[in-house]
Amino acid sequence: YYQGSISRRIPLFPKKDYLPKLHCIGTEQGGKDALKFRKTQEKEYLLQFRDRHDASRFLEWLQNPSRQQSDPVFIGSSKLLYKGDPITPLEVIQNRMKVLPVY
């Protein structure tokens, strides 16, 4: 057991030591903004991938020129969002989105 007072908090383990390496798609311009998807009006979730390869393949699919560039992207019945608004493949390209680590 430890006794004493707290002068400052320090993590015993960094997040990377105990959390899986997840990846997302987004930008780092003025802070990290990543793609999310909306299941219901109140619930949004970060779009995460187990590895960089899967995230890269999904990003390639989003940027594919044969896709309708002005239509919002859906995953099943869920809208794909960027900064709270539906995103189109053209906006993915214009915002220069890339694969980023989640943590």
44-61 pLDDT, tens digit per residue, is 999 999 999 999 999 999
Can you tell me the mean pLDDT for 5-28? 83
* Residue 58 tokens, joined: 């999904």
| SS3 label, residue 18 | helix
| pLDDT over threshold 90, residue 27 | yes
Contact between 87 and 73 under an 8 Å Cβ cutoff? The reply is: yes
* pLDDT for the residue numbered 29: 78
User: What is the pTM assigned to this prediction?
Assistant: 0.74
Backbone conformation region of residue 83, classed left if phi is above 0, alpha if psi is from -120 to 50, else beta: left
Contact between 23 and 53 under an 8 Å Cβ cutoff? The reply is: no
Q: Binning pLDDT at 50, 70 and 90, where does residue 34 land?
A: very high
* pLDDT for the residue numbered 43: 87
